[in-house]
């Protein structure tokens, strides 16, 4: 069994350490709204085509459960399982102005659980799962679609969209935060392929957003983070011809981890766009390492690149695996469901984890690598995941989309599969800032992060705040790390 046969995040969690302790909303820093409100829930239920679930209703407990079980029990006041855009408009118009949190939920994978607020109204978009592939290769995708279903639908037409590896992640949240994926250097971020969207804004109006209509809102949707300014009900993406993908994993002696991290970083600096990879540094008294990646060129050319990395490390790998797949099969491989049907791949589950991030803003030197490894010697049950960027990601200017980290060398996810490890994850995130850089990836939300606004959005923050304020002047869509709180 290879590491991806269990699922990327589950594998990472098991590598770090298992854990089961749950945390309360107070520990997470989540604001809890007053239990009383003037929302007419009975009237809302009658007005919706889809069901409205309230505490005590059949199915409520399952629907209220966050993907990250480390977040504990959530108790929203209501969960509207909307049947379409009209239901979304109804929710916005009937809930706004009553002091009740209103949040959209697509895949439900919000690291901090912001899509399932206590005492709030959840607009559950999971029924909006239509996918239409047009003759020109563009894809119109409902906001409730999961990544594995989109990959499967596109594969039937010989097309692909660059995105993440977790099969049950919703395309909506991933895109709105940017969408770092396993072929990002080859094709860019998911949001780079967003051509248009249908959005219900805070006034209940429906906007068809593209480069000629509400273009400022389209700019914000490309990396400004989910939950801000409105509720997207559908996306229109440009797609690419589905490539053949060669996946690989190399592990080197743990004593070489510092050298591996430095060699990997310099290797990626010189790599062609066809190569996207990850370098993992796993906490231990002698931290372990792993380099995993995807290559969209010829298999024989990859061999030369891997040989160059091994030479730079100065040691033979202790293990080496290489497989070539079509794009859908490669995504199933990374999703951990290589031998399963797509239907099984997209079945939602739960995992307990803690996570945060930084953005690596420079090539790793010997000093940086040594400091990273020294930091991980002091940790338990934790892994740092350096996901390579630049390539096509860096060929778009930082100001051209809300995703500001165009010049970053890599994203760095701080991940622990121990639910009680939140304080340690936050401490490592803080310690990494002077080593790798102060930026963070908005899709790796951490509710305890103090510098979140500048870290997520950098120089794009003033413009993003202005755009979101234009479409949501009354802060209808408000949460702990909403742009309007920045």
pLDDT of residue 295: 98
Structure tokens given for 275: 């190569």
pLDDT of residue 200: 98
Tell me what percent of the residues of the chain surpass a pLDDT of 90: 90
pLDDT of residue 317: 98
Which whole number is the average pLDDT over 322-326? 97
Q: How far apart are CA 443 and CA 436, in angstroms?
A: 19
Q: What pTM value is reported for the model?
A: 0.93
Which whole number is the average pLDDT over 143-163? 97
Query: Is 244-457 in the same CATH topology as 131-241+459-485?
Result: no
393: nearest Cα among 187, 176, 220, 151: 187
State the average pLDDT for the chain: 92
Options 3.30.465.10, 3.50.50.60, 3.30.70.100, 3.40.630.10; CATH of 131-241+459-485: 3.30.465.10
Q: Backbone phi, then psi, for 24, in 5-degree steps?
A: -85, 165
pLDDT of residue 50: 98
Which whole number is the average pLDDT over 251-259? 98
Q: How far apart are CA 421 and CA 354, in angstroms?
A: 7
Sequence spans of domains, the chain: 131-241+459-485, 244-457
Question: In the structure, what pLDDT confidence band is assigned to residue 323 with cuts at 50, 70 and 90?
Answer: very high
Residues 6+ apart with CB under 8 A from 1: none
Tell me what percent of the residues of the chain surpass a pLDDT of 70: 92
pLDDT at residue 328 greater than cutoff 90: yes
pLDDT of residue 37: 64
pLDDT at residue 38 greater than cutoff 90: no
Q: Top-level CATH class of 244-457? A: alpha beta
């Amino acid at each position: 069994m290879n590491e991806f046969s269990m699922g990327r995040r589950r594998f990472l969690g098991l590598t770090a350490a298992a854990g089961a302790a749950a945390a309360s909303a107070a520990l997470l820093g989540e604001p809890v709204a007053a239990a009383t409100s003037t929302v007419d829930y009975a009237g809302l239920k009658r007005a919706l085509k889809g069901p409205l679930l309230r505490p005590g209703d059949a199915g409520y407990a399952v629907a209220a459960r966050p993907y990250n079980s480390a977040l504990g029990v959530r108790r929203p006041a209501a969960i509207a399982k909307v049947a379409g855009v009209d239901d979304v408009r109804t929710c916005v118009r009937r809930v706004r102005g009553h002091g009740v949190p209103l949040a959209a939920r697509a895949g439900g994978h919000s690291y901090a659980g912001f899509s399932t607020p206590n005492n709030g109204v959840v607009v559950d978009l999971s029924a909006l799962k239509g996918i239409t592939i047009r003759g020109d290769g563009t894809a119109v995708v409902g906001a409730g679609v999961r990544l594995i279903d989109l990959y499967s639908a596109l594969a039937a037409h010989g097309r692909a969209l660059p995105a993440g590896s977790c099969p049950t992640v919703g395309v909506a949240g991933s895109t709105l935060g940017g969408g770092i994926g396993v072929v990002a250097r080859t094709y860019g971020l998911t949001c780079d392929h967003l051509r248009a969207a249908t959005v219900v804004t805070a006034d209940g109006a429906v906007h068809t957003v593209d480069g000629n209509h509400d273009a400022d809102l389209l700019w914000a949707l490309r990396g400004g983070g989910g939950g801000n300014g409105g509720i997207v009900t559908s996306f229109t993406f440009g797609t690419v011809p589905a490539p053949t993908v060669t996946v690989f994993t190399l592990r080197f002696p743990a004593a070489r981890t510092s050298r591996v991290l430095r060699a990997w970083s310099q290797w990626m600096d010189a790599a062609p766009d066809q190569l996207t990879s990850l370098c993992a540094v796993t906490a231990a008294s002698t931290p372990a390492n792993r380099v995993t990646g995807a290559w969209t060129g010829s298999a024989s050319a990859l061999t030369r690149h891997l040989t160059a990395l091994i030479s730079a490390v100065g040691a033979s790998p202790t293990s080496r695996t290489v497989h070539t797949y079509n794009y859908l099969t490669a995504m199933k491989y990374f999703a951990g469901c290589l031998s399963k049907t797509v239907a099984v791949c997209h079945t939602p589950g739960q995992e307990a984890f803690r996570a945060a991030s930084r953005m690596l803003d420079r090539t790793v030197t010997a000093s940086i690598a040594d400091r990273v490894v020294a930091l991980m010697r002091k940790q338990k049950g934790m892994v740092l995941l350096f996901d390579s960027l630049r390539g096509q990601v860096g060929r778009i200017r930082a100001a051209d989309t809300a995703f500001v980290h165009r010049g970053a060398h890599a994203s760095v996810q701080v991940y622990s599969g121990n639910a009680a490890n939140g304080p340690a994850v936050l401490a490592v995130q803080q310690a990494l800032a002077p080593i790798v850089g102060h930026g963070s990836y908005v899709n790796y939300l951490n509710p305890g992060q103090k510098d979140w606004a500048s870290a997520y959005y950098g120089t794009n923050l003033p413009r993003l705040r202005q755009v979101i304020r234009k479409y949501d002047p009354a802060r209808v869509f408000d949460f702990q790390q909403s742009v309007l709180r920045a």
